[in-house]
Amino acid sequence: MSRIGKKPVAVPAGVTAKVDGQAVSVKGSKGELSFVVPDDVEVKLEDNAIKVDPRSETKRARAMWGMSRSMISNLVTGVSAGFSKTLEITGVGYKAAVVGKNVQLSLGFSHDVVYPIPAGVTIVTPKPTEINISGSDKRQVGQVAAEIRAYRGPEPYKGKGVRYSDEFIFRKEGKKK
């Protein structure tokens, strides 16, 4: 039995949810998101909560049960509160700035890296060494953060590079003479 799948997803005030067959659409103050649930899972809207149940007791149905409940929960959280990730830039001369609809990153290359900001995501740089990424779609926010981090990931000797704010970099000792 899925411990996650058993719990119904509560729909808070100000958020409207609609279940149409296998499609779940949620609308709130931050936008509108939808998700098509796999056929192994049954979705019902009862008492202002979305309930997810498996159609059979196969291994795939049980796996899709918990995953579908988590995806629906992320939709509800996204349209009501939203998601955000913070990146920190460490290194001499490394910095970031939002220029129009692009993020300009100076990461020690011979040229600046220009990353276009996708629709549905907001990027802010409160400090030149900090990037805040926010949006209603958890997958998209995480993907944008991962793509920016991938330009210059943190290295273990001096800790230079782009890292998540809550990420721990295991530091190594350099060569000894």
Global pTM exceeds 0.85: yes
Instruction: Give me the residues of the chain with pLDDT under 70, please.
Output: 1-2
Percentage of the chain beyond pLDDT 90 is 84
Question: Can you give the pLDDT at residue 2?
Answer: 63
Can you count the helices (H) and strands (E) in the chain? 3, 13
Look up the CATH number of domain 3-80.
Answer: 3.90.930.12
The residues spanned by each domain of the chain are: 3-80, 83-164
Question: Can you give the pLDDT at residue 115?
Answer: 95
Which residues contact residue 177 at a Cβ distance below 8 angstroms, ignoring those fewer than 6 apart? Answer: none
Per residue in 62-77, pLDDT tens?
889 999 999 999 999 9
Question: Can you give the pLDDT at residue 126?
Answer: 95
Which pair of tokens denotes residue 97?
Answer: 């700035």
Question: Can you give the pLDDT at residue 5?
Answer: 84
Look up the CATH number of domain 83-164.
Answer: 3.90.930.12
CA distance 121 to 130: 16
Task: Determine contact, residues 88/96, Cβ cutoff 8 Å.
Answer: no
* 3-80 and 83-164 agree in CATH topology: yes
